[in-house]
Structure 1
Amino acid sequence: MKSFNLDIIGQPPHLHIYTQLCLCYSLPNDSDATRQAAADALSRGLKTLAQRIPWTAGRIIHEPSNEAGNSGIYKIVPWHDAPPFVIRDLRGDPSAPKMEVLQQRNFPMELLDEGLVAPYMTIPGGTAGAKMDEPTAVFAVQMNHIEGGIFLTIVSQHQVMDLAGQMQVMRMLDRACRGEEIPEEEVEIANRDRSEIIPPVADVEAEPVEQLSRQTVKPAPPLSAEPVSSVWASFSFSKASLAALKATALKTATTQKISTDDALTAFIWQSITCARYKRLRHEPNTTCTLGRAVDSRRYLDIPPSYPGLLNNMVYHTHSIQETIDMPLGVFASELRTAVDPGTSQIGRYTRALAALLDRTPNKGLISMGANINPSQDFMLSSWAGADCYGLDFGMGLGLPVAVRRPRFYPVEGLGYLSPKHPTGEIVLAVCLREDDMQALRGDTEWTRHAVWVG
């Protein structure tokens, strides 16, 4: 491999970040031999993965442009013979959690800090933000030894792949660790030239102007005089709670079908807006926006096993009062219409976004969250469908008992739905300013369905 192109959607510099997943494995029969065997399986699998999919062992570099206002190009270049694999023994570290405590508390986000358990921070360089010219790994794994268990924190560079792409790489790694062949079709799809993945847009005049306007950076408003303190927290929704939410939504739904994810997303967004209402009630007609991340593959007839970056976002904007007053099923139906293949515009939106990026020299001017106001808007990514609970990586430890997003630098107005547990539970990780979080935790309708984890 000499170098490897990124998807055009991966060129904006703000995507120079990492997506992290922490898979937690219990060790009821602990021994040094068991732990060593697990590490050996991962090491062998990572080398095999790189032999079949060489770019997974590469690094991202930035080639700046001499042209004013041009953000340059990011690409993958060779680096090692396998993705970075860090082994960290935390059993003697007083700051490290113990498996028994984690299981008792349902694996709270506050006990899984990225600085402790992840090989790369979400924002490279720490809180100072990404360094534009700093080479970074495409894919990396950290094995954390704690008392009573092992954590695997698996990270991917977001310019290279979205969560769906990361899951595909993790599935291929799982096969490699267990000594199974990676299907040739998947190898071919993974190694395709990414410059030809998204079909070209046919007519610039027909591009969705409003959608692209949401993704084009506008002059920033004046900064607030007082800094805002935001915090992460996680909440659990049981299978029974999710069923109850969907049943409630179906009573007022305006479409024939809605998913559990639609009902849950609508409930989360309405609850957060209610929690913010005390702070924002002097302007109830001010609009607020939900940005919902979507996987564009199926709308573009791209194989689901394609491990690149094909995320986009759909936006739902109403006044604050409308957001609160709208029946749950009406809003859930609006969410369903925006993503249903029969009615969705996501394919068109994604092709137009790719075309806009292709003709814009400064890719930093394009961002899916460009005009999101974190004080009153919210962006949510659902990973509920990611089948992490079926991955054992040939380590001999069984399947993970929990999968979480580690805690990282506070980003107000951001949330993730963790992969669904085999029991049907879904855990929400959400970042809000402290007063809003307290209001959310005190909302009786919220606490009827959601259990605070921490």
Structure 2
Amino acid sequence: MKSGGHTKATTYLPTEKIPSFKPINMSPKRNEKFLDEDLDITGNASCLDMHIQLCLCYAMPDSSPISAGDAILSLKNGLEILTRSLPWVAGQVVYEAPNKTHTGRMKIKPLGQTPTLIVKDLRQEPSDLTMEALRQAQFPIRLLDERVIAPIPSYSGAIPGPKPVVLIQANLISGGLLLTVAGQHQAMDYPGMGQILRLLSKACHGQAFSADEIAAANLPRYHLIPFLDDSYQPGPELYRRIIAPARPADSTQAPSANLTRSSWVNVIFEAVSLATLKRVAERDLSTHLGFISTDDALTAFVWKAVVRARISRLQPDEEATLSRAVNIRHLFDIPEEHPGMVTMCVYDTATLKALAGEPLGTTASRLRSELDHQKTGLVSITRAAVTMLNRSTDKSILNYMGTIRTNIDLMFSSFSKVDAYGVDFNMGLGQPEAVRLPLPPADPGIVYALPKRPDGQVVLAMCLEDRDIEALKNDRDFQQYGRFI
């Protein structure tokens, strides 16, 4: 892990720095040495060997009666309470080699007594990382470098050492506290992380978990999506989902330097812009379902804009593909409160010329239709994909990016429904002012829709080639709805 220059980072807060800090009994309430949990079958894909992260930005004025020590103590107590009911959150993800009973599985094994909490004091560092500076700039990703504010790199599969299920880093800055939460992606998706955040905040308040919450969080995971029987043979339904075995190089390594420069940027869409986009798209509905969501309209709008940015250097008749990550819990009667990795991708393919020229509603309608599992067979396709993953000793065959070409295609993942603005962890700081993605290494061809703010604002985190970003900044249609920060 990188600690950001010479700044001192500590696991738990030194008592001599924060007088109000009081050590608590960290002894596990359940015997974690027997922790041996299977992951969801979808989480066994080796392409997910990384950490997903969110940074929650809280105001903590220097004159506030709330001390940093009180805030940290609330987090520590909450982590202990959370671990009592969900002991696996304190574990690590480990690969168990094939044996007589299985073809190899990702497991959660013991690591610590609670998830690690790192506290980093940046208040005395010569830095532009202050709450006021972030607020004035609207919390852009470029100022939130994961090398400084995150407990582990996003591409953690490329580094040696344990793969903790959950890690938290509290960064003390002038006027604020930046709380970065990391979750091992094979153990959880962003909806799953949202559930962990909600339960942790509840624990910090000393509120008891319901029986349903505990049951959903501790479900036996591996068979939640049922496999097909032994007679199944793979066919064209697995195109894009099951790929050729990976080369010896680890498919989860951090992206290598590209000859074409790429960058991460944020784009803000206010609630009124999103509502207008949806109305515009609804003028040209063509889906048999008769409706589209705001997410459909936003995804289609961004997809079309990126195509317009690229089309001048590509062949107009070339086909491009959008890979869209979707939460599939409801398809298999899995509780939405289950904090695992239960995501699959659906794909939209069309020529660049068609995408650039067709009405927004046509694209959005197609994206909505692709979510109709009764028409697309997404349930049977998912079962087929995980059946092949279960049969194979090569866990790289299921790849959520599939055959995506980063200079032509696009990966879009929306977790705008994750209620990250509704958690305060009983720190006395209120709700976060902003929720952002910490800046990871450039990995072009990815767009994330971050958790929606209470007023309806949605911020995108986009990584594209710099020339595509410049084209979008000069695209009047895109600028009419989205605003770069």
> Does the pair score TM above 0.5?
yes
When structure 1 is superposed on structure 2, of 116-125 and 44-53 the one drifting more is 116-125
Shift of 1:65: 5.1
Which amino acid letter does the alignment assign opposite residue 192 of structure 2? G
Number of the residue aligned with 1:17: 50
Q: Residue by residue, what CA displacement relative to the aligned partner does 1:240-270 show, whole Å, maximum 9, x if unpaired?
A: 1111111110111113211111000000000
Number of the residue aligned with 1:447: 479
Number of the residue aligned with 1:159: 186
Match of 1:366, SS? coil
Shift of 1:73: 3.2
Percent of residue pairs bearing the same amino acid type = 38
Number of the residue aligned with 2:336: 304
Segments of 5+ residues of structure 2 without an aligned counterpart are: 1-31, 248-255
Q: Residue by residue, what CA displacement relative to the aligned partner does 1:60-98 show, whole Å, maximum 9, x if unpaired?
A: 12334599xx98432111111110101111112234511
Number of the residue aligned with 2:67: 34
- Determine if contact 1:418/1:427 at 8 Å carries over to the other structure: yes
Cα 1:95–1:230, aligned 2, differ >3 Å: closer, same or farther?
same
- 1:292 matched to 2:318? The reply is no
TM-score (norm 2): 0.86
Cα 1:258–1:33, aligned 2, differ >3 Å: closer, same or farther?
closer
Match of 2:323, SS? strand
Cα 1:41–1:267, aligned 2, differ >3 Å: closer, same or farther?
same
2:418 is matched with which residue: 371, 375, 386?
Answer: 386
Which amino acid letter does the alignment assign opposite residue 183 of structure 1? S
- 1:50 matched to 2:83? The reply is yes
Number of the residue aligned with 1:272: 306
Match of 2:88, SS? helix
Distance 1:302 1:162 in 2: 14
Q: Residue by residue, what CA displacement relative to the aligned partner does 1:397-453 show, whole Å, maximum 9, x if unpaired?
A: 101111011110111101100111112111111111111111111111111111011
1:216 is matched with which residue: 242, 264, 271?
Answer: 242
Q: Residue by residue, what CA displacement relative to the aligned partner does 1:94-124 show, whole Å, maximum 9, x if unpaired?
A: 3451111111111101001111111011011
1:198 is matched with which residue: 208, 211, 225?
Answer: 225
Segments of 5+ residues of structure 1 without an aligned counterpart are: none
Shift of 1:202: 5.4
Number of the residue aligned with 2:211: 184
Match of 1:196, SS? coil
- 1:370 matched to 2:414? The reply is no
Give the structure with the larger helix fraction: 1
Shift of 1:220: 9.1
Number of the residue aligned with 2:390: 358
Distance 2:257 2:53 in 1: 33
Distance 2:383 2:464 in 1: 32
Distance 1:417 1:78 in 2: 33
Distance 1:101 1:300 in 2: 45
- 1:417 matched to 2:474? The reply is no
Distance 1:115 1:226 in 2: 20
Over the aligned positions, Cα root-mean-square deviation in angstroms equals 2.3
Distance 2:265 2:187 in 1: 28
Cα 1:10–1:230, aligned 2, differ >3 Å: closer, same or farther?
same
- Determine if contact 1:71/1:363 at 8 Å carries over to the other structure: no
1:142 is matched with which residue: 153, 166, 169?
Answer: 169
TM-score (norm 1): 0.92
Distance 1:4 1:394 in 2: 30
Number of the residue aligned with 2:431: 399
- 1:230 matched to 2:262? The reply is yes
Match of 2:37, SS? coil
Cα 1:32–1:84, aligned 2, differ >3 Å: closer, same or farther?
farther
Match of 2:222, SS? helix
When structure 1 is superposed on structure 2, of 53-62 and 29-38 the one drifting more is 29-38
Distance 1:154 1:180 in 2: 21
- Determine if contact 1:19/1:155 at 8 Å carries over to the other structure: yes
Shift of 1:366: 2.0
Match of 1:415, SS? strand
Which amino acid letter does the alignment assign opposite residue 45 of structure 2? P
Match of 1:76, SS? strand
Number of the residue aligned with 2:131: 99
Shift of 1:166: 1.1
Number of the residue aligned with 1:315: 347
- Determine if contact 1:7/1:160 at 8 Å carries over to the other structure: yes
Distance 1:33 1:166 in 2: 27
- Determine if contact 1:216/1:371 at 8 Å carries over to the other structure: no
